[in-house]
DNA sequence: CGGCACGTTGAAGTGACTCAATTCGCGTGG
DNA sequence: CCACGCGAATTGAGTCACTTCAACGTGCCG
C-alpha cells in the first residue's frame, strides 16, 4: 500500500478522480479543492491478482487507474460468479466505506493499476465537500443500476442475448469513459470468465461468440472487443442503455440544469 | 400525494423511519431532531398498484409502512422481471434522489401503505444531519448487496435452490424487521410472480414448491411463508446471510463500537 | 350457478450442460 | 529452429433441467 509522494503524479491522479465524478455530477471549485487534499496510494496489479477478498474489512476504497477489475462471489461449491466489471475511472469498492465486511472479492482481470483512498480521508472529504459526497453516493447508485440489469439479463435472456448484452454494456461504458478506440475496446476475459459472468457453460459461450462473429455483429479476439455492426448487436441483445444513466445526472444545490452529454455512437 | 397533517400520526411515521435507520446505523440526538422536521405524505395502496414507473422522474422517495412492494424491469417483450422485494421499514426508492430517471418500476404486491418523503426535504436533511445521510447511503448499499446476491442466485442455482434461497432471504429479512411471527412471515406472491423473480416458468416454480413442501422444508400458502425446518431449507438454498449485513454496520464519527445484534433463529 | 384467477398435472420439445476429444496459440527450452 | 507443454478455444454427441403446450382442479366472488 505504498503511498505515492511525487507531486505531479499525485495531482494527475486526483485529476482523474475529479474527471470521473464530473462525468455525472457537478463539482464546485471548493469541492475540487477539497479533493486536492486526498493522498491516495497506488498499486500495480498483475492479471489475476485478488486485491480485496470476501470477509475482509478494508480500510481504503479503490479507484481504477488502468486495466480492468472484476467483482465476484465465491459460491459454497467453490465456483466463481462475476458480478460486475470495472474500467479506468470506476470506483469498484465504495461500499466498503459504509459496510464493514466484504461480501464479495475484487481482482484484476488484466495488468493494471489502482489508487487506494483511505476511508478516513474519504469520510473527512464527505463532511467537507457535500457535492463530492453526493457524487460518490451517485456512483454507488449507478453501480446498483448495473447490478439490477444483470439480474434481468441473467434471468430473462438466452445465451446469445446475454453475451451480446455484455458486449453492448462494456462497449458503451468504455466509450463513456473515453476508453474506446473507434469500434474497439478492451475486454480481457476468457470464455470461461464470460460464462462465470453470465451463468453459462464455456461451451455455450463459445457457440454464442461464434454466432455473433458469423452474423457480423461483434467479435472478441485477444482481449479486444470489436463491434462490427452496432445496431444489429444492440438489437440481438435488446440493449437499452437508459439504465447506465450516462447523461449528467444532477446538479449541486441550486444550479441551472446541466446540458445532457450524448456521446456519439459508431 | 395527500400530505399528512395529523400530529400524532406524523410522529409515529418519523419514529418508524428512525427505527429503521437505527437498525444499521447510529443516530445522535441531533440527527433524530432533524428527522422530526420531515413532513412525509402517506398513501394507501391496493394490491397491484404501480406507484412509480420506469421513465418517470419522481420528486419524492418512498418508505414502506405496511405491506410488500416489488421493484421490476419491464423487458422489451413486455415481460416482467422482479428485482427485489421490500417490506415495512425499507426504502425501496432512494435512488431517485440522485438519479433523475427511473430505470425500473415499483408496485404494491399486497394491500399496504407507503410514506412519500419529498426529495427537497431529504436533501435538506442530508446537509443538516450527516449521520442520517450516511445511514441513507448505507441503506442503498444494503440494497445493492441484495441485488448482487440475486445475480448469483439466478445465475448459479437450480430451480429448487432458487426458491429455497428466496424463502431464506425473505424470512431472514422479515425477522430482522420484526415482521415474522414465529416460523411464519408474509410473502404475498403468486407462483407466476415467483417465476418472474427467479427466471423460472410457473410450472417449474410449482414443482419446486412441492419439493420443498414434501421434504418438510418450507411451504407457501395463502401469501404466508412457513418455515418448517430452517436448517434444511438453508442447506438446500446454500444460503449464507452475510450479504444481508444484518449486524449494526457502523458508528457515527468517533463512537464506541456497537454491540452486534444477533437475532435468534427458529 | 358461472366466471375467473390461480394452482396442479402430464407430456413433448429444446436450449444449455456435461463429457470428451481435438485444435490452436504461444512461450520455453533443447 | 523445432519439439514440447500448457492454457484456451473449438467441436461433436448424449443427457438433463427447464420450457412450452394443454388440460384439469380448486377456491372465491358476483
**Residue ranges of chain B whose pLDDT lies below 50:** 1-7, 252-266
Neighbours of A88 (CB within 10 A): 21
Instruction: Give the C-alpha separation, A218 to B253, whole Å.
Output: 50
B238 to chain A, closest Cα gap in Å: 7
Nucleic strand D under 7 Å from the C-beta of B199: yes
Bases of chain D below 7 A from a protein C-beta are 8-13, 17-22
pLDDT of residue A247: 78
Contact B103 A250 (CB under 8 A): no
Contact A104 B253 (CB under 8 A): no
Q: pTM of the prediction?
A: 0.91
Segment A230-250 shows an average pLDDT of 90
pLDDT of residue A11: 83
Confidence of residue A261 (pLDDT cuts 50, 70, 90): very low
Protein-to-nucleotide distance from the CA of A232 to the C1' of C16, whole angstroms: 24
pLDDT of residue A92: 97
Shortest CB distance from A75 goes to which of B77, B99, B156?
A: B156
pLDDT of residue B8: 52
Instruction: Give the C-alpha separation, B89 to A156, whole Å.
Output: 29
Residue A255: pLDDT above 90?
A: no
pLDDT of residue A198: 97
pLDDT of residue A10: 78
Contact A242 B75 (CB under 8 A): no
Instruction: Give the C-alpha separation, B124 to B130, whole Å.
Output: 11
Distances (CA, A) of B231 to B68, B176, B235: 26, 18, 6
pLDDT of residue B185: 96
Short-list B56, B165, B171, B138, CA closest to A100: B138
Residue B233 belongs to what H/E stretch?
helix B230-237
pLDDT of residue A249: 59
Protein-to-nucleotide distance from the CA of A18 to the C1' of D6, whole angstroms: 44
Amino acid at each position: 500500500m505504498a503511498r505515492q509522494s511525487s507531486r505531479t503524479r499525485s495531482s494527475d491522479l486526483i485529476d482523474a478522480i475529479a474527471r470521473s465524478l464530473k462525468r455525472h455530477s457537478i463539482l464546485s471549485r471548493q469541492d475540487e479543492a477539497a479533493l486536492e487534499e486526498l493522498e491516495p496510494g497506488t498499486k500495480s496489479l498483475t492479471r489475476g491478482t485478488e486485491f480485496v477478498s470476501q470477509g475482509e474489512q478494508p480500510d481504503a476504497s479503490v479507484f481504477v487507474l488502468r486495466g480492468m477489475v472484476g467483482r465476484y462471489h465465491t459460491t459454497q461449491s467453490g465456483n466463481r460468479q462475476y458480478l460486475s466489471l470495472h474500467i479506468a475511472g470506476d470506483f469498484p469498492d465504495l461500499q466498503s466505506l459504509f459496510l464493514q465486511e466484504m461480501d464479495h472479492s475484487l481482482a484484476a482481470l488484466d495488468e493494471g493499476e489502482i489508487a487506494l483512498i483511505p476511508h478516513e480521508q474519504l469520510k473527512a472529504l464527505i463532511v467537507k465537500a457535500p457535492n463530492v459526497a453526493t457524487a460518490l453516493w451517485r456512483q454507488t447508485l449507478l453501480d446498483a443500476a448495473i447490478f439490477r440489469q444483470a439480474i434481468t439479463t441473467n434471468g430473462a435472456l438466452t445465451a446469445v442475448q446475454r453475451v451480446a448484452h455484455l458486449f453492448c454494456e462494456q462497449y458503451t461504458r468504455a466509450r463513456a469513459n473515453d476508453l474506446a478506440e473507434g469500434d474497439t475496446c478492451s475486454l480481457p476475459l476468457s470464455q470461461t470468465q464470460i460464462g462465470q459472468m453470465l451463468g453459462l457453460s464455456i461451451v455455450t459461450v463459445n457457440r454464442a461468440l461464434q454466432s455473433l462473429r458469423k452474423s457480423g455483429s461483434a467479435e472478441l479476439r485477444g482481449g479486444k472487443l470489436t463491434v462490427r455492426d452496432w445496431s444489429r448487436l444492440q438489437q440481438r441483445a435488446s440493449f437499452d442503455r437508459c439504465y447506465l444513466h450516462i447523461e449528467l445526472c444532477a446538479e449541486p444545490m441550486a444550479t441551472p440544469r446541466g446540458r445532457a452529454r450524448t456521446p456519439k455512437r459508431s
